[in-house]
Each structure stands twice: as C-alpha cells, then as structure tokens.
Amino acid sequence: MPWHATSTGLRLELQARPGRPKTVPTGLKPLADGGVALAIDVAAPPEDGKANDALIAALAKLLGLQRSAVRIATGASARRKSLQIDGDAARLAAQLAGWLATKK
C-alpha cells in the first residue's frame, strides 16, 4: 500500500494529476522504482499552490479530517508527493484500504 505509519499518523505517497475535470482519487499507480502511489486527479491548475490546496482539501474530506491534519511533506512542486496525515494511523489506514477496495 502507498502508506506507512508514523509517530503522528500516516505518510501517504501519491501521484497528482492537476488540471483534470474534477478532484478525485482514482486508484493505485505503479511507480518506476517498484513502489506504488495513490493516484489523484486534481481539478485545480498547478500554479500558485492551487492544486496542492485542492489536493489537501480532497484528502481531508475523504478521511473526515480538518485540513490542518493533512500537509505536504515532500514534493510540493512535483506531481509525486508525500503527505503527512495526522491522526490514528490504524483508523486512517483502514479508511484508505476500504476506499481502495471499492475501486477494484
């Protein structure tokens, strides 16, 4: 899975695709390094942090969290990002796994 537990919650690896018709997670994307990322279409353009803001808002809503619980740890200016999500790691992982199970 594209996440692992941290001392404050989860670290989530994702691949953003800005400029899409709507902001929605689309499933898993295999990476060239053998890993996997959560693929997310983002409606906002990749300029002035708009796509990052939309991405954070969408994930916070998906997980039932406040926006302040989701932040970009690495890759703020790249399509491949690592996000830190604060909260109970087991609950967050179960929510993400449950959502992914509906996308198969």
Determine if the pTM surpasses 0.75. yes
Listed range (17-31, 56-70, 90-104) with the worst mean pLDDT: 90-104
Could you report the per-residue pLDDT of 69-92, keeping only the tens digit for each?
999 999 998 889 999 999 999 999
Residue 18's alpha-carbon distances to 6, 24, 29, 81, 94, in angstroms, are 27, 11, 15, 13, 26
Range of the domain at 28: 3-101
Could you report the per-residue pLDDT of 34-54, keeping only the tens digit for each?
889 999 898 988 888 889 999
Structural domain total, the chain? 1
Q: What is the mean pLDDT of the chain?
A: 89
Domain CATH code at residue 46: 3.30.1200.10
